[in-house]
């Protein structure tokens, strides 16, 4: 009998402790390639990293930079020397002290060619980083100095207007070289060796379709007292319908993987809410090929598209016609101003068929006569589907009388042939890593790796170059406005719509922050 009581008591304690675990289940949707901060270049990995690591700077709950591991910093008048002062008693998740040299090691990993980091070029603003990457100087020559345990001095090659944003980004997290050097490839894949310094730490990682990453509260985090939940399970449910079933069954608390066909209905019913995203969909035109080398043709193609019809009748659910290249929500001259509002509508929402026809005739193709058959490429295995290319095909045929062939290609075939310039026109999209207009615009400078369309305009390049080193926020924003206007006038890309995310969230969860970059932050979350 006593045994039975003991057993019941045990059961009760077990179930009580189970119940008191404050846990959130978030559908990450994909099993990340890596969560090594220096190696990651995908959103899914960044979502994990931003919750288990903490940079010198971290994001506040509205997504802006605020002091993270650094409590303060000084900038030299020329903007070329940044001195970060770290908080007292910073610790890693294994209890070891975290010092300024760990940040130096993290930055060095990024710009060390041996690491093979995809985002290495992001670190080239640091003094001598490019020479170090090329093996032309020692790490001691790089402009990174830990003058003591709590002071990191970063010297810059050229001023970086986005310095604080970079310092919050996963590429600039600290590193434990004692661990990384022992297991350079595997350290970030196993909880035993992934030592981190953020609000959470890695507890487990199960790969595959039904797998998950579990992160648990890190008691050594400097702001641990404000972390109100014990655990987050980041599950990899890839099928959107299954995710919806799991959400309705109460097994998923938060997700953005809403089935695209059900999205309008779920938004209308209020089951899902639309949240802004720094997303713009566009059509790329290969300006090195005829007839797209003629700006009148490119403008005509843009004017023949009725963006309002696309967003209100065809692709439903929280989209907006693209009235410029830069989407809504990007800050402008000041934090309270909006880049798009400042720039105004550069592209009409409705089609202007008459003007489009006039431009096409002027280019030598009256009524589409003599216009070659063109090919519009799209990624058939991507999530954008065939509907959208078909709509463009139809609009161009009706308005301009031109024949468009559609070619769907598997995702990586699409990307690699496009990169080689083997296309006429292609459906594409861009999501910003930072709330900064330059992120998209700099793709179209001459020779930029993202410049698949082969666009080159010296005055655009000059503006972008100037903006890259302009520290005055208002002046830099004006330069970017000028650059955007040139890009939209030249129209190597036809902006089509601005996207948004649909979020489903259970009522027991509060304070999960999702930013328009797609990052999700659980630090301030609470559960009932």
Partner 1 sequence: MVHISRYILRRILSGLITLFIVITITFFMMRAIPGGPFTDEKAIPEFVAAKMSERYGLNDPVHVQYMRYLSGILRLDLGPSYRYEGMTVNELIAGGFPVSCAVGGLALLFSLMAGIPAGVISALKRGKWQDRLAMVLATVGVTVPSFVIASLLVYVLAMRLGWVNVGFWDGISTAWLPAVTLALYPAAFISRLVRSGMLEVLGQDYIRTAYAKGLSERRVIYIHALKNAVIPVITYLGPLTAGILTGSFVIEQVYGVPGLGTFFVTSISNRDYTTIMGVTIFYSAILVAFNIAADICLSFADPRIKLR
Chain residues that interact with partner 1, rule: CB under 8 A: 31, 33-34, 36, 39, 41-42, 113-114, 116-118, 120-121, 133, 185-190, 206-211, 235-239, 241-246, 248-249, 251-252, 381, 410-413, 415-417, 419, 443, 448-450, 452
**What residues contact 419, with CB distance under 8 A and at least 6 apart?**
452
Q: How far apart are CA 316 and CA 322, in angstroms?
A: 15
User: Is the Cα dihedral 404, 406, 407, 411 positive or negative?
Assistant: positive
Taking the complex as a whole, how short is the minimal distance between the CB of residue 207 and partner 1, in angstroms? 6
Taking the complex as a whole, how short is the minimal distance between the CB of residue 266 and partner 1, in angstroms? 13
Residue with Cβ nearer partner 1 (147 or 381):
381
Taking the complex as a whole, how short is the minimal distance between the CB of residue 514 and partner 1, in angstroms? 20
Taking the complex as a whole, how short is the minimal distance between the CB of residue 344 and partner 1, in angstroms? 28
Q: How far apart are CA 343 and CA 331, in angstroms?
A: 11
Residue with Cβ nearer partner 1 (50 or 227):
50
Q: What distance lies between CA 254 and its chain's CA centroid?
A: 19
Taking the complex as a whole, how short is the minimal distance between the CB of residue 500 and partner 1, in angstroms? 19
Checking phi first, is residue 511 left (phi over 0); if not, alpha (psi -120 to 50) or beta? left
Residue with Cβ nearer partner 1 (287 or 356):
287
CA angle 68-73-77, nearest 5°?
A: 145
Tell me how far apart the terminal alpha carbons of the chain are, to the nearest angstrom.
Answer: 37
Residue with Cβ nearer partner 1 (419 or 475):
419
Q: How far apart are CA 235 and CA 242, in angstroms?
A: 12
**Among the listed residues 404, 429, 436, 479, the one whose alpha carbon sits nearest the alpha carbon of residue 322:** 429
Angle of helix 473-490 relative to helix 458-468, nearest 10 degrees, comes to: 160
- Residue 339 CB-density burial (10 A; 0-12 exposed, 13-18 middle, 19+ buried): buried
Residue with Cβ nearer partner 1 (304 or 502):
502
**Contact predicate 231/509, CB 8 Å:** no
Residue with Cβ nearer partner 1 (10 or 113):
113
Residue 214 in 3-state DSSP? strand
Taking the complex as a whole, how short is the minimal distance between the CB of residue 206 and partner 1, in angstroms? 6
Taking the complex as a whole, how short is the minimal distance between the CB of residue 260 and partner 1, in angstroms? 14
Taking the complex as a whole, how short is the minimal distance between the CB of residue 350 and partner 1, in angstroms? 30
Residue with Cβ nearer partner 1 (124 or 513):
124
Residue with Cβ nearer partner 1 (189 or 513):
189
């Amino acid at each position: 009998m006593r045994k039975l009581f003991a057993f019941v008591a045990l059961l009760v304690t077990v179930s009580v402790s189970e119940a008191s675990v404050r846990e959130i289940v978030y559908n990450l949707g994909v099993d990340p390639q890596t969560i090594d901060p220096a190696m990651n270049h995908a959103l899914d990995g960044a979502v994990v990293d931003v919750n288990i690591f903490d940079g010198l700077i971290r994001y506040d709950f509205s997504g802006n930079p605020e002091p993270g591991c650094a409590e303060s910093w000084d900038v030299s008048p020329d903007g070329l020397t940044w001195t970060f002062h770290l908080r007292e008693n910073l610790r890693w998740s294994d209890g070891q002290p975290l010092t300024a040299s760990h940040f130096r090691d993290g930055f060095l990993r990024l710009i060390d060619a041996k690491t093979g980091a995809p985002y290495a070029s992001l670190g080239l603003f640091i003094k001598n980083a490019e020479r170090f990457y090329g093996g032309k100087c020692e790490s001691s020559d790089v402009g990174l100095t830990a003058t003591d345990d709590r002071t990191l001095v970063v010297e810059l090659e050229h001023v970086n207007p986005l310095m604080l944003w970079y310092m919050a980004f996963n590429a600039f997290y600290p590193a434990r070289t004692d661990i990384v050097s022992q297991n350079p490839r595997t350290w970030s894949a196993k909880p035993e060796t992934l030592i981190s310094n953020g609000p959470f730490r890695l507890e487990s990682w199960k790969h595959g379709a039904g797998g998950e990453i579990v992160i648990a509260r890190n008691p050594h985090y400097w702001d641990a007292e404000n972390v109100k939940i014990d655990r987050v399970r980041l599950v990899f449910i890839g099928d959107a319908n299954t995710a919806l079933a799991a959400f309705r069954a109460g097994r998923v608390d938060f997700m953005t993987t809403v089935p695209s066909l059900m999205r309008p209905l779920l938004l209308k019913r209020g089951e899902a809410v639309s949240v802004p995203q720094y997303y713009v969909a566009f059509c790329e035109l290969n300006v090195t090929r005829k007839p797209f080398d003629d700006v009148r043709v490119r403008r005509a193609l843009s004017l023949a598209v009725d963006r309002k019809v696309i967003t209100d009748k065809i692709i439903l659910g929280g989209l907006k016609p693209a009235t410029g290249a830069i989407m809504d929500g990007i800050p402008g001259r000041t934090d309270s101003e909006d880049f798009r509002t400042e720039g105004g509508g550069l592209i009409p929402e409705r089609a202007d068929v008459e003007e489009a026809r006039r431009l096409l005739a002027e280019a030598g193709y009256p009524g589409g006569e003599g216009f070659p058959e063109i090919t519009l490429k799209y990624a058939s295995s991507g999530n954008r589907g065939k509907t959208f290319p078909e709509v463009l095909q139809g609009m161009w045929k009706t308005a301009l009388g031109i024949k468009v062939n559609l070619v769907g290609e598997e995702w990586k075939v699409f990307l690699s042939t496009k990169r080689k310039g083997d296309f006429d026109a292609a459906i594409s999209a861009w999501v910003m890593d930072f709330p900064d207009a330059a992120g998209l615009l700099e793709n179209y400078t001459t020779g930029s790796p993202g410049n698949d369309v082969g666009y080159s305009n010296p005055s655009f390049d000059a503006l972008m170059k100037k903006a890259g080193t302009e520290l005055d926020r208002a002046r830099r924003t004006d330069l970017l406005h000028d650059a955007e206007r040139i890009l939209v006038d030249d129209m190597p890309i036809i902006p089509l719509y601005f996207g948004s995310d649909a979020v489903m969230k259970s009522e027991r969860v509060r304070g999960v922050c999702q930013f328009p970059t797609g990052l999700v932050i659980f630090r301030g979350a609470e559960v009932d």
